[in-house]
Amino acid sequence: MSSFIKENIDEVRKRIENSAKKVGRNPDDILLLAVSKTIDVPKIKEAVACGLNSLGENRVQEIMEKYEPMGDGINWHLIGHLQTNKVKYIIDKVCLIHSVESIKLATEIDKKAEKSGVIMDILVEVNMAGEESKFGIAPSECESFIRELSKFKNIRVKGLMTVAPFTENPEDNRIYFRKLKEMLVDINSKNIDNINMCELSMGMTGDYEVAIEEGATIVRVGTGIFGERFYPNKNK
């Protein structure tokens, strides 16, 4: 068993604790989501052995492939763009979908959730920096979007998610994390039926400490745990 994964996890946990304490938060209120995309099952099992049983994948296909080999006791999170025609494959496998950004997708999730007899927990993905290349709804549309989502009976809106811009300096993203938190507080205060959000999924390897200082409840860390990713035969 290579020990670098354990060492990485120890380091990430230490940093989470430090960032939380810096702003008077309880580190236990922050979920470290291990982003296991492109990582093989034996390596992921090393992370699970260190107590990380919440795994984030951005492709439906990879969840399908790893679901059986990883076995019971894993909380799977879908963090990447979800196509409507693939909802049926993951509806009974994932505990949280981080990337809801259209009514069309929400309608399909609601339909398939009802069919499976589950209430699906979701986050609304917000494109805070307005980047062309990123998914997510515009901040200005968030409230009306959530008002629409509140009508679905088989969907529970747990909170907001953002993928901040890639940057060398994590401080550059502080403003986006702060604004996402403000949006959550603001929308909760409108007392919309069925809407009481508590989760903020924000922060990745490069900027999770700043995100925690700004209120992240879920940080999505891949490289910081498993090392650099390789994409054989893929142009991504």
Ligand X SMILES: *Cc1c(COP(=O)(O)O)cnc(C)c1O
Q: Where are the alpha helices (DSSP H) in 139-236?
A: 142-149, 174-188, 208-213, 223-226
Burial class (CB in 10 A: 0-12, 13-18, 19+), 89: middle
- With CB under 6 A, what is the number of residues at the site for ligand X? 14
For residue 42, give both structure tokens.
């034996």
- Amino acid at site 133: S
User: From the list 5, 12, 34, 35, which residue makes contact with ligand X (rule: CB under 6 A)?
Assistant: 35
Contact flags string 72-91 toward ligand X, x per CB under 6 A:
-------xx-----------
Query: Does 156 sit near ligand X (CB under 6 A)?
Result: no
Q: Using CB under 6 A, which residues numbered 47 to 66 contact ligand X?
A: 58
Taking the chain, what is the end-to-end CA distance rounded to the nearest angstrom?
A: 29
User: From the list 204, 210, 211, 216, which residue makes contact with ligand X (rule: CB under 6 A)?
Assistant: 204
Looking at the Cβ atoms of 154 and 181, the one nearer to ligand X is 181
Q: Which one of 17-25, 70-78, 108-116, 198-206 is the stretch in contact with ligand X (CB under 6 A)?
A: 198-206
Partner residues linked to 125 by β-bridges: 161
Other C-beta atoms within 10 Å of 73: how many?
7
Return d(Cα 147, Cα 156) in angstroms, integer: 12
Tell me how far, at minimum, the Cβ of 194 lies from ligand X, in Å: 26
Return d(Cα 170, Cα 204) in angstroms, integer: 10
Tell me how far, at minimum, the Cβ of 64 lies from ligand X, in Å: 17
Query: Does 220 sit near ligand X (CB under 6 A)?
Result: yes
Q: Which one of 16-24, 110-118, 141-149, 219-227 is the stretch in contact with ligand X (CB under 6 A)?
A: 219-227
Partner residues linked to 124 by β-bridges: 100, 160
Tell me how far, at minimum, the Cβ of 151 lies from ligand X, in Å: 27
Which residues bind to ligand X, rule: CB under 6 A?
A: 35, 37, 58, 79-80, 163, 204-206, 220-224
